[in-house]
Amino acid sequence: MDEAEQLCDQIAIMINGRIVCYGSPSYLMKTYGGGYEVTITVDVKKSSRKEVRRMMEVYLPGQYRL
């Protein structure tokens, strides 16, 4: 998004060949730039909380909250 913000006046985001949002970089960041949420469901019989935390540290460094 940083490059697009510097190079473009308007941005269209496509998913599966369809335009799902269109606007200026500042509009898109203000409207859709709040972040993301990941929900993980774990079988407690097979995984421990410690294992889940370790995996999150690897795949989402510094971006998770339990």
**Could you report the per-residue pLDDT of 17-40, keeping only the tens digit for each?**
999 999 998 898 888 877 766 677
Lookup: tokens for 40: 């993980």
Cα 5 from Cα 28, distance rounded (Å): 10
pLDDT at 29: 85
pLDDT at 64: 60
**Could you report the per-residue pLDDT of 42-60, keeping only the tens digit for each?**
776 766 778 877 877 887 7
